[in-house]
Each structure stands twice: as C-alpha cells, then as structure tokens.
Amino acid sequence: MQHTDGAAIKIEHLTAGYGATPVLSEISATIPRGQITAIVGPNGSGKSTLLGVLAGTVPTQSGTVHRSTTQRPAFVMQHTAIPPTLPLTVGETVAMGRWAHRGPWRRLTREDRAIARACLERMDLTALASRRLDTLSGGQRQRTLLAQALAQQSDLLLLDEPATGLDAASQAAISDAVAEVSAAGVTVVQATHDLAEADKAEHCLLLGEGRLIAAGQPGEVVVRS
C-alpha cells in the first residue's frame, strides 16, 4: 500500500484538558500522513481528550498542534454520545455530513445528495435511510455516524472507540471502511482499547495518565500497554 511520506500532524509539548486541571501533559508526537494511527491506553489515559484536541473541540493550554491536512476533520463519536431522542432519520444524519461544504442553512446540491447516498450504501444503510436513529441498534447507529463522517470527504478522519460494544458484523464493517479510506490517502486516527484493532494500524501512540508512554509500530507499542 503506497502512502505519501511525511506527517499529517505534529504535536509539540501539548498540555490540554477541561478547566484548570490538564488531562494531557507535555505530549509530543507525529501522526503520519495517509496511514491509520491507533491511540491506545487504559480508561482515563487521555485518548478521547487527544482526539478532541485534533478535532478542535478541546482547547490546548500550552504547546502546539501543526496540521498539514487541508480540510476540517471528520470526527466520529461513540454512538452512545448521541441523544437517543434526536428526531433524525438515518438519511438526514448522513446528509448532514455535507454541511461542512454548504453550511447548515444552504440547500444541498444534487452532488451532495449523491455523495450521501453513496455513503449510505457503503455502510449498508440504504434500507434504513428512513428509519429514525432512536429505532436502531448500537451497531446501526455507529455505522450511520461513520457514513456521515465519510460524506464530509475530509482528508482527516478521527474516531473515538468506534467499535466498542458492537456486534461482530458492525465491527467488521467499520474496520473495513476505515481501511478503505486510509488506502485512498485519508489520514485516520482512532482511539481504541481493542488491541487486535490497534494491531491493524500502521502507527500507534500509547498513553498513560495523560502522558505519551510510547510511539511506533503497533507490534512494539501494544506489547507495552
């Protein structure tokens, strides 16, 4: 698999968190371009916070994050973070991925709708397009959120524990889609506690108590986690 050389993201001496108490302290790391980077570590180690910094939703307290990606990141949260009563259908949720290009109050173009339909099909959701999110299984909701992110067509895809608690078929569908977009040149960063999933990545960051413990090939890093 051919990838562009170089770094998509360079993190230097990053301290970040919520309020006065930092969750991450003095993190320095490189995210390679066009590859899958897994962020691993125990609960509370700062995985979600680091993803939030990369997504722009968590402020940095000190240090810098240099991104050479050119588009707004596509961020896939855990399906449990979405309010179950949100009155949206699967089709509407995926089409929202195009708002990054149009703005929420602009009409979507024919091309936007075609992209959204293709992403529904890619995640095997076409038959569920008119179903409300609150009628879906966890796996179906998570595939919907990934389809929405794919519809953004960003060059940086961020995923927070995307396969946690899902059935095997949904886990496989998400893993396959992530591998496909990476092969197409998208930089993927995913937080995971699934060491088998981390082992499929090309690069790995191990966090512990808000600090970077190790970085490198998953086979070397995961052994230490």
- Domains of the chain from N-terminus onward: 1-73+157-165+187-225 (3.40.50.300)
The CA distance from 127 to 130, in Å, is: 8
Beta strands in the chain (DSSP E): 7-18, 21-32, 36-40, 60-67, 74-76, 156-160, 187-191, 203-208, 211-216
Q: How many CA atoms lie within 13 A of 69 on its CB side?
A: 26
Q: Are 178 and 190 in contact (CB under 8 A)?
A: yes
Beta bridge partners of 212: 207
pTM here?
0.92
| Residue-level pLDDT at 80 | 80
| Residue-level pLDDT at 1 | 32
User: What averages of pLDDT result for each successive group of 10 residues across the chain (225 residues)?
Assistant: 66 92 95 96 93 93 93 90 83 91 78 96 96 92 96 96 88 93 96 88 96 94 69
In three-state form (DSSP H/G/I as H, E/B as E, the rest C), the secondary structure along 136-157 is: CCHHHHHHHHHHHHHHCCCCEE
| Residue-level pLDDT at 217 | 93
| Residue-level pLDDT at 101 | 75
| Residue-level pLDDT at 103 | 66
Beta-carbon contacts of 1 under 8 Å, excluding residues fewer than 6 positions away, are: 183
| Residue-level pLDDT at 139 | 93
The CA distance from 2 to 34, in Å, is: 9
| Residue-level pLDDT at 3 | 40
**Parallel/antiparallel/unpaired status of strands 21-32 and 7-18:** antiparallel
| Residue-level pLDDT at 99 | 86
Q: Are 204 and 224 in contact (CB under 8 A)?
A: no
| Residue-level pLDDT at 163 | 84
| Residue-level pLDDT at 2 | 37
| Residue-level pLDDT at 225 | 52
| Residue-level pLDDT at 67 | 92
What the block records as the tokens of 174 is 């998400």
